[in-house]
Structure 1
Amino acid sequence: MAGRWVKALLGLSALAVLSVEGACPNKCSGHGSCGANDICSCEQNWINADCSARQCPFTRAWQDTASYNNDAHYYAECGNRGICDRSTGICQCDETFVGSGCRRLKCPSDCSGHGKCQFIEDLAVSTDKRVGGNPLFIDYTSWDREKIQGCRCDPGWEGHSCNRRVCPQGDDPLTTGQYDMQQGITITHSAVIKFVIRYADPYGNLWTTSEITSGLPTADATTCTNIETALRRIPNFALSSRVLNSNEISVKPGGVGAYTRTGPTTGTVAATVADITTATNCIVTFPAAPGTTGLQSLLEVDVTPYTAAGSQP
């Protein structure tokens, strides 16, 4: 009788062991803990009933159905623009989408090696005149601010993928009555100062002159000559003809009237800036050479005193 009780107890013990070991599916694959009702509690980024599959990154959805007002583009696995590889937890993104969770739109042809791929939130506040941004913007905060990208081309290149060279620009030989563009420079000062001038050419290059030393406010000719010398020294014939002593930029003492555009082909000219003893007035005449005819970006005069060690200019 005692032997039968021992066998019965051993049988119940074996069943209990089998019951404990076989409770949760696949022992939660080593990526979770077995809990009540034989349900696995998976570790972070592991899913399925047995915690055997990886979860891919969630990013702002490129497209989805809004749940409430202003609630579109909520987080979705692979941004709804890719398929999750459950064995690795890495998204297999649709064509033209890249990044963790397919979060970014790829730049066309990687900007062809002639530009930088940037988010539209950066392009929106760009000071590059070719980009057309507005540095006065505070922020671009729409849902796609860190998702859509575009190319910011290097100087001399253009096109949505920066795959085209910028062609030389010049005067139309079939038109008449042209005038070389003139710009006025007025610098208010009471003593000799040092400054630089910046020029943005039509091809996207930004040039900065070497340091220019002014004359006294009553010596406009000296200052204008120094400005002319510095502008002519800008390399790559940016402000001069390739022919020696031909069609070079000129800077002479004098003032010009501010021009205000009132329509596509109309405008008004204000009175000429008066010559006063507390300011230097110079007239800059651009050369009739490829790249310097027609409308030009305004020259920028920087009188900031760069005195710290290593400052440039």
Structure 2
Amino acid sequence: MAAARRGGRALVLAVAVAAALAGRADAGACVDLGDCNGHGTCNTATTQCACYDGWGSSSDVTTYRAPDCSKRVCPSGNAWADAATATNTAHALAECSNAGICDRTTGKCRCFTGYDGEACQRSACPNECSGHGKCVSIAQMASENNAQPVDIESPAFTYGGSEAVATWDEDKIFGCVCDSSWTVSLASGATQEPEWFGADCSLRHCASGDDPMTTADETDCVGKVRNGQTVAGRTGGVAGNLCHVDCANRGICNYNTGICDCFDGFYGVACTLQSELAVGDKS
């Protein structure tokens, strides 16, 4: 009887020890993986980590997943360049849009030069438009009648949507629409060119005026399109629309300051005033 009791106690003890060891094994199944570093759950059956979103989950778009969930995943966007998978099928989602390097510590993209956005998903505006313009997509730019080149219609052009093959990048290509203290359009009373100009809006037009030495009005832009250029299918300025004539053609515009340096015999903000020319000494 005593022997039976001792045998029973030994069996209970063995079961308890086995259970304790099993529990310890479950608790430390991913100990070699740092217990998933608090960024995932441990699958005790496979002793593998199932990482949370942003740390290498199965739904994350990434080229690298740390087995111990210790490395971050960066935002993704349509790849700027990749191999097509079928006819008219390309630009799949890619980490940092294939235009940057993922910082695995911070989970932020370090974009290559010329790219911007949290996923490097858009082109950067040059010099951030120098503080004299706004950085907008080509789709938005097409809908604004003050963007260059100006058009009488707004929107001047409608893109087909980012899902269309030909216009997949309509929200990825960005450029500057420069500021102006005067209205810019082809409408009456408006001028066709903005005060600030250039790809990065760093240059400034001088005051405009009609050349005092000609009979024609150089500022009259009726039927004209930006400095006399003609573009097929585009309408020119309406009655009262103005062409911009820096310094009235009677001075040199300093595009860094926006101030005219008038030729001898001319003066005024736009060099539109003519002084009496000096007469040489005939004595």
Task: Indicate whether the TM-score tops 0.5.
Answer: yes
Q: How many positions carry a matched residue from both structures?
A: 195
Q: 1 or 2 for the larger relative contact order (CA 8 Å, sep ≥6)?
A: 1
TM-score normalised over the length of structure 2: 0.57
Match of 1:139 in 2: 159
Match of 1:33 in 2: 41
Contact 1:121 1:140 in 2 (8 A): no
Match of 1:152 in 2: 177
Counterpart selection for 1:100 from 95, 102, 118: 118
Contact 2:211 2:217 in 1 (8 A): no
1:161 equivalent to 2:200? Answer yes
Counterpart selection for 2:24 from 18, 24, 31: 18
Aligned residue for 1:102, secondary structure, equals: coil
Match of 2:244 in 1: 202
Aligned residue for 1:40, secondary structure, equals: strand
Structure 2 CA distance for aligned equivalents of residues 40 and 183 of structure 1: 70
Gaps of 5+ in 2: 1-5, 57-65, 162-166, 181-194, 223-238, 247-266, 274-283
Counterpart selection for 2:52 from 39, 43, 47: 43
Aligned residue for 2:119, secondary structure, equals: helix
Q: 1:13 to 1:152 in 2, by over 3 A?
A: same
Contact 1:131 1:152 in 2 (8 A): no
Percentage identity across paired residues of the two chains: 39
Structure 1 CA distance for aligned equivalents of residues 80 and 93 of structure 2: 9
Match of 1:121 in 2: 139
1:88 equivalent to 2:106? Answer yes
Structure 1 CA distance for aligned equivalents of residues 120 and 221 of structure 2: 49
Counterpart amino acid of residue 205 in structure 2:
V
What is the root-mean-square deviation in Å for CA atoms of aligned residues? 3.5
TM-score normalised over the length of structure 1: 0.52
Gaps of 5+ in 1: 185-196, 205-241, 244-288, 291-313
Q: CA deviation at 1:180?
A: 3.9
Structure 2 CA distance for aligned equivalents of residues 200 and 101 of structure 1: 42
Deviations 1:122-141 (A, max 9, x none): 12232126334662423253
Deviations 1:25-70 (A, max 9, x none): 3222222222342232222222132222221111111111111111
